[in-house]
């Protein structure tokens, strides 16, 4: 959702956009024993958190990128903006 909003805003301003490119999903797994004392049957809880990453490449000046990234983002969604000088 965030990628599509950024891409649509960039295309409205006639900027060159490549992406979004999907990166491999990171799976953080945690195996926890249910019993607090360590006695009884060996039963476990399995917890998993998946991290999905996308790369969106905008070819524009840094001022325009700052204007584009000024959008409302849902809680739990992190956006990292890297401005490369090339």
d(CA 81, CA 79): 7
Q: Give mean pLDDT, residues 49-64.
A: 85
> What is the per-residue pLDDT across 5-38, written as a single tens digit (0 to 9) for each?
888 888 888 888 887 888 999 999 999 988 888 7
> Is residue 77 pLDDT above 70, yes or no?
yes
d(CA 6, CA 70): 9
pTM recorded for the entire structure: 0.65
What was the pLDDT predicted at 47?
96
> Is residue 40 pLDDT above 70, yes or no?
yes
What was the pLDDT predicted at 86?
56
């Amino acid at each position: 959702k965030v990628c599509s909003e950024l891409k649509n805003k960039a295309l409205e301003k006639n900027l060159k956009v490549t992406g979004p490119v999907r990166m491999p999903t990171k799976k953080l797994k945690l195996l926890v024993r249910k019993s607090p004392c360590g006695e009884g049957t060996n039963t476990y809880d399995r917890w998993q958190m998946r991290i999905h990453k996308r790369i969106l490449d905008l070819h524009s000046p840094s001022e325009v990128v700052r204007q584009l990234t000024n959008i409302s983002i849902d809680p739990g969604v992190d956006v990292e903006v890297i401005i490369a000088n090339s």
